[in-house]
A and B are shown apart, each in its own frame.
Chain A
Amino acid sequence: MGTPATAPRKNTVRLGDRVFSGLSKGSGIALLVIMAAIAVFLTIRAAIAIAHNEGNFLTTFQWDANASPPVFGIAVLLFGTVVSSVIAMTLAVPVAIGIALFISHYAPRRLAGIIGYVVDLLAAVPSIIYGLWGALFLVPHMTGLFDWLDRFFGWTGIFAYDGTPARSLMTVGILLAIMILPIITSVTREVFKQTPKAHEEAALALGATRWEVIRMTVLPFGRSGIISASMLGLGRALGETMAVATVLSPSFLINASLLESGGGTFAQNIASQFKEAGSMGRDALIASGLVLFVLTLLVNGAARLIIARRKEYSGSL
């Protein structure tokens, strides 16, 4: 493209191109600058806190960042965040793919439109509402399930349950799953809809059943989209504050059982400690926020790797 000496028309073309690519590059750089500024800000504040920390930042089971030698550690928070998000993702992703397929390939056309719309709407429900609903409705209804799990799987220790109100990491995981379901569904459905019609028709012409069509065309095509959608959902699950704070009964102990209260998550801890935090307390909370960052980064990096393995993303025929 672009022989040097041609008609003036070509020049205007190139000007438009240059302006547009400059603009998009510029906003990319602007984004980069903002993010970098945030990263630097967080790192500095976190470094201050960690330098003063008397406990071990990674292994201390305590959060006393306002005490005069501050003592705090993220072990419990890391555990709680990872566990609740893993529960949420294992429950939400398969179901979300199911609903997305339902909307894009199974449901009657008119019903699909309505459901798609309702799903988008649910993605818009503010998390404090999920929290209120979780505390008033979900927690009391969890007791039955927990009793059942305890009866049959209590011997594993992971599912032991003592009959206290069901405000545990498991409940949090389930609530988070319900919360991120609409988000993942929404994006996944959009990706499924983009599957080239020709692919599907070709598969059908070969006599494939509906499931075979989906397995051979829709899912491979939408794979990177599913992962991206899941990452969006995971981002929200990891950083969720209010819904966790209303449903979990936190403590700075790790309970072997997922069904009994205790534990905590980064975002929940930031929200509940922030009210009474002094300046050192704030820095300590920022340091924990930084860990959340790194965690997200690792997960996202892994996801990118998976996607990159099948880079041929173009929806060519």
Chain B
Amino acid sequence: MKLGAAAALVSSALLLTAACGSDDNSGLPGAVDFSADHIECAPSGSLLASGSSAQANAMEVWVNTYQANCDDSQINYKATGSGAGIQEFLQGRTAFAGSDSLLGDQELADSRAVCRDGGQAIHLPMAAGPIAIGYNLPGVDDLVLDAPTLALIFDSGITRWNDPAIAALNPGADLPDLPITAFHRSDGSGTTDNLTQYLHGSAPEQWPYEPNKNWTGKGGQAADGSSGLVGMVQQNAGAIAYFELSYAHQNGISTVAIDTGAPEPVAVSVENASSAIAAGEVVGTGGDLALELDYATREPGAYPIVLVTYEIICDKGNNPGTLDLTRAFLGYAAGEEGQGALAEIDYAPIPDGIIEQVRDRVAGMS
């Protein structure tokens, strides 16, 4: 009888399979039109990729657009975090990895084991994301901070909102006498890495710690993931935290403008991030396109806290079975249409000079 029940369960499961599921969501109200003009499709196939969650939104748009225009292609990008993505890539399980930070020497050496024809892993910058400093301070809509103040706030050096240092930067604002609760990521994260690079790069005295994916500052509270930080900022008056710009936009959170030393404080936006990226330089060698940003930039209208997110591929390809699809997909993402889709979803495209090199590298995978 137990067998009978089991059989019933199994057959109902099979029925579920056979019956009514559908992958077609184009009829939804508000469905996005994914049509594109110039996608050069690869023959049908499927590939797996994983890594950074900072580029998850961009990947979502790219993957859906590619799949909508190329029949029978399936791309799975899993946003598990850069480190996990790199591990899976180095184990030869995925076609490419998304990462917010660069490979270490050991990891580069390991990549030779999975890359074909004596190749090794290279970094392709694909998108840049401004990191917003979001806060919750009733009655204060515009807030200006500079790198030393930010560093002190996140390091528990400044603990109240009406601190003279903050007041000096915001002469007109009516700052409440409220304790500051600074939130940081409890999980390791490329966002933390980039924020601390900025703090260390432009306020080394106030932020003496080396940049790290794990939080190294003193005090404050921690929460899991960017969504966790957003939740905390929404719940607690007096809270401040950092997350990708899209999280601030989608949840209507006020963001800090940064006093970089430029004549005007710089608000966080895609255009201002693009200006900062434009000053970035390629520091990778041997075909690698790793970028270095100037976090202490004083360029007017350049928002300095920017995260560059890379795809890590083998310069000569890894798995022959997914090579065509990888090339076609990344070619589209690096192409004009792929980059053009970024601004709408709060990413800054990669500057022309660099993205052209990215296209060359993608085309050069053989």
Contact = CB atoms under 8 A, between A and B. Distances in A.
A250 B232 CA distance: 14
A273 B224 contact: no
A165 B86 contact: no
Contact of A272 (B80, B87, B106, B188): B188
Given A165-B236, A246-B228, A276-B189, A66 B213 contact: yes
Given A64-B214, A165-B236, A245 B83 contact: no
A135 interface: yes
A189 interface: no
Interface string B81-94: 11110110010000
Interface in A246-281: 246, 248-251, 261, 271-279, 281
A277 B222 contact: no
A161 interface: no
Q: Looking at chain B, what size class is its interface with the partner chain?
A: 20 to 34
Interface in B49-87: 53, 80-84, 86-87
The secondary-structure label for the interface of chain B is: mixed
B87 A249 contact: no
Interface in B208-237: 212-214, 221-224, 228, 231-232, 235-236
B188 A276 contact: yes
Interface string B262-302: 00000000000000000000000000000000000000000
B186 A275 contact: no
B220 to A, nearest CB: 8
Contacts of A271: 187
Contacts of B120: none
Contacts of A165: 181, 221, 232, 235-236
Interface string A132-149: 000110011000000000
Contacts of A66: 83, 188, 213
Interface residues of A, number: 30
A164 B214 contact: no
Contacts of A245: 186-187, 224
A167 B221 contact: yes
A282 B88 CA distance: 12
B118 to A, nearest CB: 22
B190 to A, nearest CB: 8
A277 B186 contact: no
B107 interface: yes
Contact of B181 (A164, A278, A282): A164
Contacts of B29: none
Given A246-B224, A246-B228, A261-B221, A275 B214 contact: no
A57 interface: no
Contact of B221 (A163, A164, A246): A164
Contact of B104 (A135, A250, A251, A278): A278
A271 B231 CA distance: 19
A130 interface: no
A258 B147 CA distance: 34
Contacts of B107: 278
B86 A278 contact: yes
A109 to B, nearest CB: 27
B81 A275 contact: yes
A135 B81 CA distance: 22
B83 A277 contact: yes
Interface string B182-198: 00001111100000000
A63 interface: yes
B153 to A, nearest CB: 15
A278 B80 contact: no
B86 A273 contact: no
A159 B186 CA distance: 24
Among A140, A271, A275, max chain B CB count under 10 A is at A275
B329 to A, nearest CB: 24
A275 B84 contact: yes
A208 B188 CA distance: 60
A68 to B, nearest CB: 8
A231 B361 CA distance: 56
Contacts of A249: 186, 221-223
Nearest to B53: A275
Contacts of B222: 249-251, 261
Contacts of B221: 164-165, 167, 249, 261
Contacts of A273: 187-188, 214
A276 B104 CA distance: 13
B83 A276 contact: yes
A246 B187 CA distance: 11
Among A68, A167, A271, A282, max chain B CB count under 10 A is at A167
B186 A274 contact: no
Interface string A147-166: 00000000000000001110
A282 B235 CA distance: 33
A261 B236 CA distance: 15
A277 B235 contact: no
B4 to A, nearest CB: 21
Nearest to A131: B224
Contacts of B214: 63-64, 273, 276
B83 A272 contact: no
Among B84, B90, B224, B231, max chain A CB count under 10 A is at B224
Contacts of A278: 83, 86-87, 104, 106-107
Given A64-B212, A250-B186, A277-B83, 7 more contacts: A63-B214, A66-B213, A136-B231, A165-B235, A275-B83, A275-B84, A276-B190
25 contacts: A63-B214, A64-B212, A66-B188, A66-B213, A140-B235, A167-B221, A250-B186, A250-B222, A261-B222, A272-B224, A273-B188, A274-B81, A274-B83, A275-B80, A275-B83, A275-B188, A276-B82, A276-B187, A276-B188, A277-B84, A277-B87, A278-B86, A278-B87, A278-B104, A281-B83
Q: Which 3 A-B pairs have the closest CB atoms?
A: A275-B81, A276-B188, A276-B83
